[in-house]
Structure 1
Amino acid sequence: MDYTEINAETIDRWIEEGWEWGVPISHEQYAAALRGEWDMVLTPTKPVPKSWYPALSGADVLGLASGGGQQMPIFAALGANCTVLDNSPRQIESELMVARREGYQIQAIRGDMTKPLPFADASFDLIFHPVSNCYIEDVMHVWRECHRILKPGGLLMAGLDNGVNFLFDEDENEGEIRYSLPFNPLKDQRLMALLEKNDDGVQFSHTLEEQIRGQIKAGFQLVDLYEDTNGEGFLHEHGVPTFWATLARK
């Protein structure tokens, strides 16, 4: 089985177990967004600065690997024309459920971002891409495709794992480093066995060069960024940043 299909099945299981990134927003949260009371995250804890967002009324927005009914309903409440692409059937189901419940339209596509994205050149004003490319091996392909499908001047907001988490076991064991970087289970069967044992899907560490320089090489101008932590655990308690969020412009 292709590793991206393994990840889709894994995420579907996590959702059944109550995974926080698979819980759709409530009607009350949607109603609050209609009143202008909202925020969204690309990383575990820090809200995206409001200054990052363009005018959203009438904007064409793509949620890339952003299914689950958490961000797209807010974009819809703010007047955007929303499309979401996610490889998890359960995440797509949640998007469609919230859209039916709240009465807005969304184009929800089950798709694999390791493949060419099923959109024409210059289709979107904004791509919102929360932490998810840790589930794919080649992030450069994603940056090139994002650049292709954005309109001139369009924005890419991306949440990125900086790789530090891959040095440790899930419990972080008081900061004991257990693994080396890069973390690539397709090239090390011991890592694949570890991920299978923990039901973690197939995950990959990525470097600053891949994540941020990769956007620049794809043609983006880096506009802003911030760091975030895991939100809990040993590394968080010691203030160790484990994620970046970036804002880039085509």
Structure 2
Amino acid sequence: MARGGHRFAQPAQEEEFKNPLKTIDRWGWLGESIYGQRVLCLASGGGRQGPLYAAAGAIVTVVDISGAQLEIDRKVAADRGLQLKTVEASMDDLSMFAPTDFDIVIHPVSTCYVPDVAPIFREVAKVLCSGGLYISQHKTPTSLQAKIKRSEQGYELTEPYYRNGPLPEVKGSRHREEGTLEYLHRWDQLVGGICQAGMVIEDLVEPIHAKKDAEPNSFEDRSMFIAPYVRIKARRIGQDKPRVEAGSLWLPGS
């Protein structure tokens, strides 16, 4: 799919590099600058996330399970004179990194491709420093439950909320990806899972893709009825252990 020019394998455009921080942080969650920050772009190969964060001054590592996606990142970085590191790995195993290796973890939509999100959140919490940010985006459960075609009543829910196994295959939908296995994750698994891993949620938004009077069955029309994505800002707490200064530890006889 990456080599075939899939929509999630399109490099960032020239216009987006003019103000990279504004491009990647439209809600202002990252502050005025991320210069020198250690950023992990998780499951986000494809020539967009990593290069833009690097262009904004961050020290960037990109993890993706697809070598072809990482290839695009390396090419974009080389063409623009940017520095970034790429690691081919699954998002639910970050054992190649040490605890507190990163200040920020950026995680675009991809949790829908794994059956269990809990291990991912635990891995993220492990590699984040205390106070570090985890910004992730997910497909909403309702969007994955609903039909892709509109009926007289709107977009009907046809998939159970409490379910096991992947969703049925789909064709002709921008809300789903053809040729992939996708899994529905409930709100308690998404929001609760992030909290249980040792992070606190500071903000949550549903990016607006709706358009009034859009063509029926279009992405924008369906988004009028169902928010397709949720974006979550969370912060790691309690990660760093207190340091004991030399000479401050009392020992018997000292």
| Same fold by TM-score greater than 0.5 | yes
What SS does the aligned partner of 1:175 have? coil
Q: Against the structure 1 CA distance between its residues 120 and 172, is the aligned structure 2 distance closer, same or farther, given a 3 Å change threshold?
A: farther
Q: Is the 8 A contact 1:166 1:181 kept in 2?
A: no
Give a deviation string over 1:174-228, Cα, whole Å, max 9, x none. Answer: 4133322245435xxxx45x36998431110111111111111111011111113
| TM-score (norm. length: structure 1) | 0.79
What SS does the aligned partner of 1:228 have? coil
In structure 2, what is the Cα distance between the partners aligned to 1:183 and 1:18? Answer: 33
Q: Is the 8 A contact 2:102 2:128 kept in 1?
A: yes
Which residue of structure 1 lines up, in the alignment, with residue 205 of structure 2?
226
Residue number among 225, 230, 236 corresponding to 1:244 in the alignment: 230
User: 2:55 matched to 1:68?
Assistant: no
Q: Is the 8 A contact 1:229 1:235 kept in 2?
A: no
Structure number with larger C-alpha Rg: 2
Residue number among 56, 73, 86 corresponding to 1:95 in the alignment: 73
Residue number among 16, 32, 50 corresponding to 1:29 in the alignment: 16
Q: What is the letter of the counterpart of residue 193 of structure 2?
A: G
Higher relative contact order (CA 8 A, sep 6+): 1
Q: Is the 8 A contact 1:86 1:110 kept in 2?
A: yes
Which residue of structure 2 lines up, in the alignment, with residue 177 of structure 1?
157
In structure 2, what is the Cα distance between the partners aligned to 1:117 and 1:226? Answer: 30
Residue number among 184, 190, 199 corresponding to 1:205 in the alignment: 184
User: 2:23 matched to 1:39?
Assistant: yes
Q: Against the structure 1 CA distance between its residues 178 and 210, is the aligned structure 2 distance closer, same or farther, given a 3 Å change threshold?
A: same
Quote the offset at 1:29 in angstroms. 3.2
| TM-score (norm. length: structure 2) | 0.78
1:116-131 → structure 2 map (5 Å cutoff): 116-131=94-109
Give a deviation string over 1:151-188, Cα, whole Å, max 9, x none. Answer: 111100010222112223444554133322245435xx
In structure 2, what is the Cα distance between the partners aligned to 1:133 and 1:118? Answer: 20
Q: Against the structure 1 CA distance between its residues 113 and 56, is the aligned structure 2 distance closer, same or farther, given a 3 Å change threshold?
A: same
In structure 2, what is the Cα distance between the partners aligned to 1:199 and 1:79? Answer: 35
Name the structure where helix makes up a greater proportion of residues: 1
- How large is the RMSD of aligned CA atoms in angstroms? 2.5
Q: Is the 8 A contact 2:148 2:155 kept in 1?
A: no
Identity among equivalent positions (%) equals: 27
In structure 2, what is the Cα distance between the partners aligned to 1:170 and 1:17? Answer: 24
In structure 2, what is the Cα distance between the partners aligned to 1:155 and 1:19? Answer: 29
Quote the offset at 1:27 in angstroms. 4.1
Quote the offset at 1:33 in angstroms. 2.9
Q: Is the 8 A contact 2:161 2:186 kept in 1?
A: no
Quote the offset at 1:19 in angstroms. 2.5
Q: Is the 8 A contact 2:208 2:227 kept in 1?
A: yes
In structure 2, what is the Cα distance between the partners aligned to 1:131 and 1:172? Answer: 24
Q: Is the 8 A contact 1:160 1:245 kept in 2?
A: yes
Structure 1 gap ranges (5+): 1-12, 41-46
Q: Against the structure 1 CA distance between its residues 225 and 54, is the aligned structure 2 distance closer, same or farther, given a 3 Å change threshold?
A: farther
Give a deviation string over 1:92-130, Cα, whole Å, max 9, x none. Answer: 111001111011211111111233442110000000001
User: 2:120 matched to 1:133?
Assistant: no
Q: What is the letter of the counterpart of residue 33 of structure 1?
A: N
